Structure 1
Amino acid sequence: MTHSLVGLALGELVERALPAPSTPAQGRTRRRALLLTGLLASNFPDLDLVLTPLLPAPLGYLIHHRGHTHTLLYALPQVALLLALTWLLWPAARRLLNEDRAARRAVIGTALLGMVLHLSFDALNVYGVHPFHPVDSRWIYGDLVFIVEPVFWTALGIGLALAAHNRAWRWFGLAFFAAMPVVFTWLGFLQWGSLAGLALLGLAVGAARARLGARGALAAALLACAGFVGVQAVAGSAARSEIRAALAQVAPGSRVLDIPLSSFPANPLCWSFATVSTGPGADSYAVRVGVLSLAPGITPVSACPVRFGGEPGNPAPALAWKYLENGSLAAIRALQRTNCHVDAWLRFARVPSLVDGVATDLRFGAPDQPNFSTLPYAARALAPCPAPLAGWGYPRADLLGWK
């Protein structure tokens, strides 16, 4: 949904920035071509989901999703494929691109920018991307916004609805994107304060539409999204500082390697987090999971939505530790060398939990709550090694003794 809204907003803004078309028919074709190009370009990288059957679950998804199609190098052939399909399958668009130089440049630019925006938005969350492969195959994590962020839906969805030419589509879009946060709040995904913030956001985009027109509404929506990311960056930095201070108290002498963060949707005050640290023993490491409130007087951890890690009834107002697992550096290094399934899994895992022959990335759930990252590695020890593998960097190369 987010990628689609971003692509449609891009196409609409490019269309409104171009000179008036020569004829109404050319104008309709140009607008449709830009909207469709933005929509498809902003979703094309996720075509790598068709590659997930190449490896047994869960490794197919972990290794091949957000894989090669999510790199800047492979964005170029994707753009070429998208433009070729448009040229071959859409005669009206082919005539437009052949006759109108400005439209041709606009469509190509929209395709390129749509691909980059896909990678950029994917880089904002705790899942991560490695866009510079093969030059640099390390994962990059933004740890800024929730992977399904209703702020983006509300701002861009209402902006696009107000820009729609068809009245039925306009009212349908407004009703859908106004009702969506209400339903999410009723289901327990959002706090009432988040709902109020989203309502104000929608009204602000509507006010921009009344004062500045459809292009102004879309520009306001994009500025609101950028502003929200900025707020999350400041809040995330504060969260890391508080987590480091708390970890120094519960594990003195440990060295912090990583603090993956996942914000709650439309909520810069509540954060789920994990920590990866070594020590205090020479052969030891620890992974921890917790939940943090940056404003415990307003929203203690007990009030953060339980569906994303809130702790109802927890007496700790600001920070609650939920899970601790201690491990041996020698043991995880030996397992990586001797079990090729674990070795493949460690190309993705950022917060590895290894309990009773089962591996789970604690970013996505506790060991007793299997998720898409859960691998029964002991049961597969004698199975053929997974192939083909992509050469992604190991997120926990530091635990494995590599630089």
Structure 2
Amino acid sequence: MDNLSHSLVGLAVGELVHRTLPAEGDPAQQGTRRRLMLFSCWAASNFPDLDLVLSGRLPMPLGYLLHHRGHTHTLLLEVPQALLLIALLWMLWPGARTLLRASKAARAGLLAAVGAGFLLHLGMDALNSYGVHPFYPFDARWMYGDMVFILEPVFWVAGAVPLAMMLGSRVWRALLLGALAATLAYFTLRGFLHWGSLTALLLFGAGLALLQQRAGKNGKRALCAALLGAAGFVSMQGAAMQRGKTIVADHLRLLDPASTLLDTAMTAFPANPACWIFVSAERDAVAGTYRLRRGMLSVAPDMLALDACPAALSEGMRGPTAQIVIDWSQETSLARLRTLQASNCRFDAWLRFARMPALGTVTAFDVRFSNTPAGNFTTLPIDEANRQPCPAGVPAWGYPRADLL
């Protein structure tokens, strides 16, 4: 997920932790505890993305592909990260150190806020098609949620609105809520959000604002409703994603009954359970080939046909049907894929990330992110005459397409 989503949800959870704990006897310590819960959960919700500093350890694009969402995004290594964050807070924040020495509730709250932040980061990253491998080294496989767009405004509204309503200044509340509404309207006008999505987001935000206003100074109903609403949205997206995969499988079976469907990567549209981009991987064992296809579908064509899906994310895809269209496909020899893996160590390392590996004449790219190598951050040169040294320290993630190798 984007770091704005991580931050806003982390801040909301930190505030909820603070409001759930018994009050401190000293108002000054109460204020320090609130700041500590907010900051610690925010920091924990972003801490694993510090793995970006490791990108330079491998040649591009391998450094980013294999180290981002890498070791810092595993359950095993979340524990030392959490301990490091707590140690830094203890050493660098004298007021927090004094509070933690005196208050059992603050110590429990800090553990809860930091633990929740790290789990939230991993859980939110697991929701989209990029993937994580949380159980490494016990299980090296990538796991993909395929449910939520990587920049999801539902999380922005869920985190920002209750927090904005807690501000003492009406001017600041109006400015922040107005900025959020204007941002959502801007993305709608630019064709990233459907007008129905904008309406639903504004109604969700208005409901949270009203709840917080009625809850009073120490109320937490709006925070609980925001988090439950976000969880309900994720559940709805999960059901829509499963429906979408069924539609794709049925369609591909009609197109080529001889092929075996191996995987379908689903990319959601923001705040929109109906519209999806999909990429499928099929294998034809008899022909010795594999095929990738990229297209778009609507899981509810009677309510929202393909032509009504947000244009900025539709990639120009339009078709004669109201439900599914395929606008790109590639069939590749399995022998070429396997030969490249055996002869090109950089390509072999790249295959530890590539879920949908497309092969051009001199480049390889993952079709999840674009159907062309140009502008695709996963694009790798595969010139077989290039005798560059093999990269050292390649993480041992499982091959997403081991079923082709």
What TM bracket, shorter-length normalisation?
over 0.9
Paired residue secondary structure (2:220): helix
Is 2:363–2:383's contact at 8 Å kept on the other side of the alignment? yes
Aligned counterpart, 1:346? 351
Shift of 1:169: 3.9
Paired residue secondary structure (1:11): helix
AA aligned to 1:97 is: L
Mapping for residues 4-403 of structure 1, pairs under 5 Å: 4-213=7-216, 214-279=219-284, 281-311=286-316, 313-378=318-383, 381-400=386-405
Percent of aligned positions with the same letter in both sequences? 49
Once residues 195 and 230 of structure 2 are traced to their aligned partners in structure 1, the CA distance between those partners, rounded to angstroms, is 20
Once residues 280 and 252 of structure 1 are traced to their aligned partners in structure 2, the CA distance between those partners, rounded to angstroms, is 12
AA aligned to 2:222 is: A
Moved more, 59-68 or 155-164: 155-164
Once residues 284 and 157 of structure 2 are traced to their aligned partners in structure 1, the CA distance between those partners, rounded to angstroms, is 45
Paired residue secondary structure (2:403): coil
Shift of 1:65: 0.2
Once residues 226 and 380 of structure 1 are traced to their aligned partners in structure 2, the CA distance between those partners, rounded to angstroms, is 50
Is 1:341–1:380's contact at 8 Å kept on the other side of the alignment? no
Q: Report Cα offsets for 1:168-209 as digits up to 9, x if no partner.
A: 443332122222210110111111111111111112212322
TM-score by length of 1: 0.96
Is 1:302–1:310's contact at 8 Å kept on the other side of the alignment? no
Q: Report Cα offsets for 1:186-243 as digits up to 9, x if no partner.
A: 1111111111111111122123223444411111110110000111111111111111
AA aligned to 2:300 is: A
Paired residue secondary structure (1:26): helix
Mark the CA change 1:30 to 1:303 in structure 2 (over 3 Å): closer, same or farther. same
Q: Report Cα offsets for 1:114-140 as digits up to 9, x if no partner.
A: 101100000000001001110101101
Paired residue secondary structure (1:260): strand
Mark the CA change 1:364 to 1:180 in structure 2 (over 3 Å): closer, same or farther. same
Paired residue secondary structure (2:332): strand
Shift of 1:166: 4.7
Q: Report Cα offsets for 1:119-164 as digits up to 9, x if no partner.
A: 0000000001001110101101000000110111112211211123
Q: Unpaired segments of 5 or more residues in structure 1?
A: none
AA aligned to 2:243 is: A
Moved more, 202-211 or 43-52: 202-211
Q: Report Cα offsets for 1:34-85 as digits up to 9, x if no partner.
A: 1000110000000000000111111110010000000011111111111111
Once residues 266 and 257 of structure 1 are traced to their aligned partners in structure 2, the CA distance between those partners, rounded to angstroms, is 28
AA aligned to 1:333 is: R
Shift of 1:341: 0.9
Q: Report Cα offsets for 1:337-388 as digits up to 9, x if no partner.
A: 1101110100000000001121110000012533111111217731111222
Once residues 5 and 201 of structure 2 are traced to their aligned partners in structure 1, the CA distance between those partners, rounded to angstroms, is 15
Q: Report Cα offsets for 1:98-122 as digits up to 9, x if no partner.
A: 1111101110221111101100000
Paired residue secondary structure (1:390): coil
Is 2:344–2:384's contact at 8 Å kept on the other side of the alignment? no
* Root mean square deviation, CA, Å: 1.5
Mark the CA change 1:368 to 1:140 in structure 2 (over 3 Å): closer, same or farther. closer
Count of residues paired in the alignment: 400
AA aligned to 2:362 is: G
Shift of 1:303: 2.2
TM-score by length of 2: 0.95
Mark the CA change 1:313 to 1:352 in structure 2 (over 3 Å): closer, same or farther. closer
Once residues 103 and 77 of structure 1 are traced to their aligned partners in structure 2, the CA distance between those partners, rounded to angstroms, is 21
